[in-house]
């Protein structure tokens, strides 16, 4: 995970010249007075100005499509309430303006080629607030989902489906109805994805993934007629054991104490009752003995028949099937946990953007953020976030991708020489 905030000194000058003004436009707060702000809005609402701005937008978005585009982008939409306070608006109005900003950014992302957009809409931590505030947030979420349904034409235009990620058991029934409506109305779309994290925290997601993985590994596996699959750690232990046996010299074998200790660890038998030929264990015997063990065993040798406990499955009774084998925990990898996360079907997270100038993740996408995820923290508030705020972030991301690919190609060429 990398935090990108400064322009690298090696950046091409024409890129720096074109994007520096846009970056300043996105990060420097506007100090205009109320009359000048009204005049600015009036000028921007004129049809010729709107048409010119639309053409410029299309030009920039078309230029973005010519380069590498992040497949998965996540947004922490922060600053709605602060924006409302600064502009002397109701808090609800600030959230409504935030939704309008989201609709514009979704269009920019989908037009430029982004496949998956994930937004942080509601945190589980919000339930710790007062009942009055929680009810207000639920009503606000219901209103936003209703507005999302009204903007179905935007999602259908780009083939985007809505997915709600989070613990839906915490959601009220009336809000859940709007959730189902938003999901069902876009279920036929399969080109783009809009992930709405509601209600969500990354810790809850990771806990849920671990719980589901443990349940999967607690179900006996069907191992009839199959030998235990080798894992990398088991192969390494077998190699170490074979090397230890091969390094035993004739003098060490003459020592009854060393021989007894070795046989006790490997076969669980008294070395004085063994014939000298039993110390030579073939590789076929090791495989046969390891297959006979339960899958949860971590050793390469099995105890002697005298020391083995009787198998309850061989006793008379209603359970006459063979021993049940659990999946080998050595086969557990990070991919198993990823498979049980909410974003299991999404590509890796390429870019995470948070507005309002706050430098924290707020328990969002902790598992999805990997070593190549770029994180950008912008000083603008979310209702102010638009194409001109997002464009410098995408341009810098594209430049870094080209720079890294160029370095990889150069290193491969040098190695080939």
Tell me the catalytic residues: 78
Q: Where are the beta strands (DSSP E) in 29-126?
A: 72-76, 116-120
The SS3 assignment for 402 reads helix
Per DSSP, 349 falls in state: P
Largest Cα span, the chain: 102
- Rounded to 5 degrees, φ, ψ at 76 are -100, 105
Q: Are 414 and 34 in contact (CB under 8 A)?
A: no
The DSSP line for 283-344 is: HHHHHHHHHHS-TT---SS---TTTSPPPGGGSSSS--S---BPPPGGG--HHHHHHTSTTT
DSSP single-letter state for residue 382? G
Per the document, the length of the chain is 417
State the burial class of residue 384 (Cβ atoms within 10 Å of its Cβ: 0-12, 13-18, 19+).
buried
């Amino acid at each position: 995970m990398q935090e990108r905030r400064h322009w690298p000194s090696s950046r091409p000058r024409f890129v720096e010249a074109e994007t520096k003004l846009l970056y300043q436009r996105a990060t420097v707060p506007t100090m205009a007075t109320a009359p000048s702000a009204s005049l600015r809005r009036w000028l921007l609402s004129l049809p010729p100005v709107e048409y010119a701005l639309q053409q410029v937008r299309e030009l920039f978005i078309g230029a973005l499509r010519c380069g590498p585009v992040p497949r998965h982008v996540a947004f922490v939409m922060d600053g709605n309430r602060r924006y409302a306070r600064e502009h002397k608006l109701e808090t609800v109005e600030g959230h409504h303006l935030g939704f309008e900003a989201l609709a514009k950014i979704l269009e920019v992302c989908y037009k430029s080629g982004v496949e998956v957009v994930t937004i942080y809409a509601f945190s589980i931590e919000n339930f710790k607030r007062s009942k009055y505030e929680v009810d207000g947030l639920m009503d606000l979420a219901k209103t936003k989902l209703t507005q999302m349904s009204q903007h179905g034409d935007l999602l259908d235009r780009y083939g985007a489906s809505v997915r709600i990620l989070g613990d839906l058991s915490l959601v009220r029934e009336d809000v859940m109805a709007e959730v189902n409506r938003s999901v069902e109305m876009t279920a036929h779309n399969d080109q783009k994805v809009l992930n709405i994290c509601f209600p969500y925290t990354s810790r809850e997601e990771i806990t849920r993934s671990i719980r589901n993985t443990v349940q999967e590994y607690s179900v006996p596996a069907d191992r009839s007629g199959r030998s235990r699959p080798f894992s990398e750690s088991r192969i390494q232990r077998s190699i170490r054991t074979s090397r230890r046996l091969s390094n035993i010299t004739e003098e060490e074998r003459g020592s009854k104490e060393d021989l007894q200790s070795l046989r006790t660890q490997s076969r669980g038998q008294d070395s004085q009752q063994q014939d000298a030929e039993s110390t030579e264990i073939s590789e076929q015997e090791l495989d046969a003995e390891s297959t006979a063990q339960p899958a949860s065993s971590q050793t390469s040798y099995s105890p002697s028949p005298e020391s083995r406990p009787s198998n309850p499955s061989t006793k008379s009774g209603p359970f006459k099937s063979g021993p049940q084998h659990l999946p080998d925990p050595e086969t557990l990898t990070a991919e198993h946990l990823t498979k049980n996360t909410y974003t299991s079907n999404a590509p890796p997270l390429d870019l995470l953007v948070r507005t309002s100038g706050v430098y924290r993740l707020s328990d969002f996408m902790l598992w999805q953020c990997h070593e190549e995820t770029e994180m950008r923290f912008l000083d603008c508030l979310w209702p102010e976030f638009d194409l001109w705020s997002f464009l410098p972030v995408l341009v810098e991301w594209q430049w870094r991708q080209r720079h890294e690919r160029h370095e990889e190609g150069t290193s491969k060429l040098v190695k080939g020489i």
